[in-house]
Amino acid sequence: MKTLFIGAGSMAHALMSGALKAGVLNREEVYVTNRANQERLNEITQEFCIRKVNRASRYDVIILAMKPKDFHEAADSVGPYLSGNTLIISVLAGITMEHISSRLDFKGAIARAMPNTSAAMGKSATAVAFNQYLSPSQKEWTKTLFQSVGIAAEVEEEKLDLITALSGSGPAYIYYVAEILKHAAVELGLEDELAESLVTQTIAGASAMLSESGLEARELRRNVTSAGGTTEAGIAALEDHQVRDAFFQCISSANNRSQTLGHELKENSLKK
């Protein structure tokens, strides 16, 4: 599949790395362009031994991996790369498939995906939606692409804003929890390096239990929580400070922002 990445940031890098290692992409058929940063473009082409865009070519797959705010400017240059059989894959938060179709004047196969930054470690949780124009083989290839950097699940597009709030932004929430745990440990007397090591391994171990034990989070928590014990005291303090409600508001606010961002980007494009 002759594939063009538009954008050379961290998500494009992660997808290239995973897909090339898995054999989903052939480096002889991978091209990239990045208008904003030529130095970054040179770095990524050298690292993966791939080519800069051939402006005279049309592509089987075009992956939109620029920053969402840059989509409308970049869209002006996409037309020459499209054919009637091109598959467009977008990893742009907040920009709908209908909007992409309209902006590019393209009535063909479009997929919209929401991976997360854990793709860099092959651990992304990716949701992907398809419009009505994809063939079964295009759907399967797209899922395989994202499975090369983690897991991938097909969803309806209207769920992608919520999924952006949950798993797209999710790694940052976990890093925030890690940051707070470490800060508390240091404030209460542990050395910085020891606290960092213990928090990191604790989260890694808990993640492994969630993914490999076959038990739900609620059951795993209850298994650790003895009546009258230290864990029960800690959980009670979290409940007293309404941490459950705070996380609900966290997801709700991020979901609302994803929806608003999409509207803002669409409105801005109409003004130009």
Binding site membership for NADP(+): which residues? 6-11, 65-68
Annotated binding site: 6-11, 65-68
Rounded Cα distance between 164 and 169, Å, is 6
Rounded Cα distance between 258 and 68, Å, is 11
Q: Which residue has 């459950």 as its token pair?
A: 244
Rounded Cα distance between 147 and 47, Å, is 22
The CA distances from residue 215 to 125, 128, 222, in Å, are 19, 26, 11
Ramachandran angles phi, psi of 135, nearest 5°:
-80, 160
Rounded Cα distance between 132 and 105, Å, is 16
